[in-house]
Structure 1
C-alpha cells in the first residue's frame, strides 16, 4: 500500500492528549521485554485506597493504569479510593501509575499487577502473544473514535477523498479509516495522512488539515479546552467499524481464578465511584486534582470527565454492573478487523478475551 503521508510538528497541545501517539506506537508492539526494564520500584507511583488500608482482613489488589500520567478516565476509582468504597468492599487497592504505556500489559501478565485499566486493543494484542490477560468489563457504551472537523455537520467518507487527515498513523486508526473509506469503494490511498508528533488537535485548530482522528473524551475534550466548541464528529462505527469501547478493565487470569470474590467486590466499588462521580462531577474533579495535582489542568479534567461520564448514558440513571457486560459479537468484530488489517497475525476466539463473571454474570 502506498500512502501519501506528511509529518508535521505540532505545538500548543495539552499534556494529556499527547498520549494518543504513544499509545498508538505501542499498540502492536511485542510484550516480551524483560520486566526489570520497566518495573523498578522507583519508576512507578501509587495511590492506596482509604485511610485504614493496612487494617487486617482487607484483600490487597494491585491495579495498574494505561498511562504513566494520571488522566480523567481514572476518576471512578480515584473517587472510590478517596470515599472509602474499596475499604467498604473489603479491598486494599493500590492504583499503580506505570513507567510507560507498554508496562501495563507487562505488569498484568507477569504478576506485577492483578487488575488493569487498559484498551480493548491492548488486551487483544497481548492475548495474541500468549499473555494471560482478559477483559472483565467494558468502559463505556461503544466506540467513540471518529473523524473530527470544524464543519457544522460530520464529514462523510465521500468528502474525505483528496483531503488532508491529521492522524497518529497507527495500525488501529488506519484500520478504522480504511473501513470508512471502504464503505464508498475508496482506500487510504485516496487521502493524505498528516502525522502529528503529539496531538492532532493543533493541526485542525491551525487549519493545517481538514479533519483529525480522535476520541470524544481526549481530542474532543482538548478541542473544547481550546475554544472549539462546535466541532463535529463522524463516528467510524456508523460506517462499519466495530462498536467496541476503546477502554476496558482487565485482569490477570490466574489472579481472577484465585480471587473471584475480590474481583466482584472491585467492580462493585468502581461502580459506586462511577455513580458518585457522575452525580457529583465537580467534587469528583476536585478529588482527582487533589490526588494528582500535576497531571493535567482542572479545566481539561472537567471537560474530559464530562465527556467520559456521558459514555455511560443519562446522568440521572445509575450505572449498574450490566453496563460493563462484554459480548462475543463485539469481540468477534474486533478480532476480524484486527486480523484483516494485520494488527494481529492470527484469529482468536472471543471466549479467550473476556469474562463477565466479576459482574455477577
Structure 2
C-alpha cells in the first residue's frame, strides 16, 4: 500500500470505524492511566495508518533525540492494526493522542466519539488534481476526462466543489477508482488526472522521476483546512493538561530539528522503519511536508499549529453539504488549543 493512498483513503476507513468506537467507549478496558516510573508520564500515541510513512518524522526525531524524555514523557508511538482503528483506539482510551485527519475528527465527533483536534499538521489544504503536463488542469477543462481517485466521500466532495465552481457536476467526468494508489494510473496513461496531496501522491510521482502540476481545490471553493491533524481523547486531555502541553512542545522541537536537519531526520525514519518506503520517496515526502510549515529558515512555533473556529466551521459546512455527516455540530466540540498555550 503506497503512502499516497493512505491519507486520502483514510477518511472512508475512519467513517466505517467510528461507529464501532462509539459502541466500545462504554466497555473499554483501558483506564487511560498515564503515570510512568520515575516521575515520567506515559503517552500512547496512535498513528493514522498500519504502515509507517514520512509524516511521522517529527515525533520519531523527538523520541530519538531525547526531547520527550527531557520533557518528562515516555511516548509509545503505536501502529494501528488496521485502517479504521485510530479513532477506535483514541475514542475508547486505548490511546491518549493520535495522528489523524481533520475529516476523521469531524466524522468521529458527529457520532459521539470523544476526540478533539489539538494542533494542525501543516497550514493549508494541499489537495488537488494532478497531471504530468506542464500546466495545471482547470475544472472547466474536465468534461469527459478520466480522473483517477479513491473511493471516499472527502475526495468526491472536493472534486464536486471544484466542478461546481464552473457549473459542472461529478457526472461530467469519469472516475477511475484506485485500489492502492492513483499514481500508477497517471504514470501508465490510463487517466487524464488524479486526485491527491502534494506530500503523498506528489512526492510519489517525483520519486518516480515524474514532474507534475496541480490544480488546488482550495482555489475553487474547497475549504483551506489542513488535511492532517494531531488529536487527543477529551477525557485524557482534561486529566493530563501538563502532559499534553509537554508533548506538543517536544513535538514542535522535533519538527524544527527535522526541518533544520532533513537528511539526518530521514535517516532516523529509515533506521526505525527500513522497509516502509524507499529512501527517495521518504526524502521527497519530508521535503514536501516540511514546506507545509513555511520557509525552512523560519522556526515553527506553537502559534503556527493553533486551530481556528472559522477553519473548523468550513469543514463542518462542507461535511454536511456533501453528506459526510448527517447534521451540523458545534465547532467548539471539535478542537482545543489548550496544549499550545491558548
TM-score range, shorter chain: over 0.9
Q: How do 1:111-260 and structure 2 match up within 5 A?
A: 111-229=93-211, 231-260=212-241
Shift of the 15–186 alpha-carbon distance from structure 1 to 2, 3 Å rule, reads closer
Pick which of 70-79 and 18-27 moved more. 18-27
TM-score by length of 2: 0.94
CA-to-aligned-CA distance 1:257-297 (integer Å, 9 cap, x gap): 01111111001000010000000000000011111112111
For 1:311, the equivalent position in structure 2 comes to: 292
Deviation at 1:150, TM superposition (A): 1.3
The alignment status of 1:269 with 2:250, answered yes or no, reads yes
- Aligned partners of 1:40, 1:290: CA distance in 2, in Å? 34
CA-to-aligned-CA distance 1:169-198 (integer Å, 9 cap, x gap): 311011001110111111011111111111
- Aligned partners of 2:24, 2:83: CA distance in 1, in Å? 13
For 1:321, the equivalent position in structure 2 comes to: 302
Q: How do 1:276-355 and structure 2 match up within 5 A?
A: 276-355=257-336
* 4+ residue runs over 6 A deviation: none
The alignment status of 1:16 with 2:3, answered yes or no, reads yes
- Aligned partners of 1:61, 1:254: CA distance in 2, in Å? 14
Aligned-residue CA RMSD (Å):
1.9
Shift of the 193–208 alpha-carbon distance from structure 1 to 2, 3 Å rule, reads same
Residue of 25, 38, 41 corresponding to 2:12 = 25
- Aligned partners of 1:40, 1:281: CA distance in 2, in Å? 40
Deviation at 1:114, TM superposition (A): 0.5
For 2:92, the equivalent position in structure 1 comes to: 110
For 1:58, the equivalent position in structure 2 comes to: 40
Instruction: Answer yes or no: is the 8 Å Cα contact 1:20–1:168 preserved in 2.
Output: no
CA-to-aligned-CA distance 1:181-235 (integer Å, 9 cap, x gap): 1111110111111111110001111111111000001100110011102x10000
Instruction: Answer yes or no: is the 8 Å Cα contact 1:21–1:198 preserved in 2.
Output: no
For 1:7, the equivalent position in structure 2 comes to: none
Unaligned regions of 5+ residues in structure 2, if any?
none
- Aligned partners of 1:150, 1:266: CA distance in 2, in Å? 40
Instruction: Answer yes or no: is the 8 Å Cα contact 2:97–2:232 preserved in 1.
Output: yes
Structure 1 SS opposite 2:39: coil
Structure 2 SS opposite 1:268: helix
Deviation at 1:35, TM superposition (A): 5.7
Shift of the 30–100 alpha-carbon distance from structure 1 to 2, 3 Å rule, reads closer
How many residue pairs get matched?
A: 334
- Aligned partners of 1:24, 1:228: CA distance in 2, in Å? 27
TM-score by length of 1: 0.89
Unaligned regions of 5+ residues in structure 1, if any?
1-13, 42-52
CA-to-aligned-CA distance 1:227-252 (integer Å, 9 cap, x gap): 102x1000000001011100000000
- Aligned partners of 1:24, 1:108: CA distance in 2, in Å? 16
- Aligned partners of 1:353, 1:21: CA distance in 2, in Å? 20
CA-to-aligned-CA distance 1:320-348 (integer Å, 9 cap, x gap): 00111101111111000000110011111
Instruction: Answer yes or no: is the 8 Å Cα contact 2:244–2:339 preserved in 1.
Output: yes
- Aligned partners of 1:311, 1:21: CA distance in 2, in Å? 17
Deviation at 1:32, TM superposition (A): 3.3
